[in-house]
Amino acid sequence: MIVVDKKKYKMAINEVGKEIHVQVHGLIREEDAEGYIADLQDTINKVPRHDYTFVVDATHQTPVPSKVVPQLEQAMQLYSSLGFKDIFVVKPSSKIAQVQIRNVLERIKFTGSIIDKVPHSR
């Protein structure tokens, strides 16, 4: 069930597989970040987080400008603090975006896992 469908991102709740999927497309700019966080809060408040897995599909995410890296860092920290059973971040196909995410995760205490592709629902 897709709950948010915007140009830059989609958010869906899979009640059967007990997963929330967030898919990021292209470049999230500074002005997109605020709406993204608000939509994220709204989506995750619909489920009991400790029973759910949080999957961020960054496959189609493009490199972010250096001034947006702090927002990327904040987003990853936020994901870790949400209280989900598991957190998976799917690597972007862009090598530069992969390096950006890896660098951000080295600076914070990230409790999730980086994976190569979206896991199939159980």
Residue 11 lies in a domain: no
Residue 97 lies in a domain: yes
Number of domains within the chain:
1
Residue 37 lies in a domain: yes
Q: What pTM was estimated for this model as a whole? A: 0.88
* Residue 14 confidence class, pLDDT cut points 50, 70, 90: very high
pLDDT digits (tens, 9 = 90+) for 28-72: 777 787 888 899 999 999 999 999 999 999 999 888 888 888 888
Average pLDDT, the chain: 90
Residue 47 lies in a domain: yes
Instruction: Find the domain containing 91 and state its range.
Output: 1-6+22-52+68-122
Q: CA–CA separation, 5 vs 69, rounded Å?
A: 24
Residue 62 lies in a domain: no
In percent, the amount of the chain with pLDDT more than 90 equals: 65
Residue 57 lies in a domain: no
Residue 60 lies in a domain: no
Mean per-residue pLDDT, 90-99: 94
E strand or H helix at 77: helix 69-81
* Residue 121 confidence class, pLDDT cut points 50, 70, 90: low
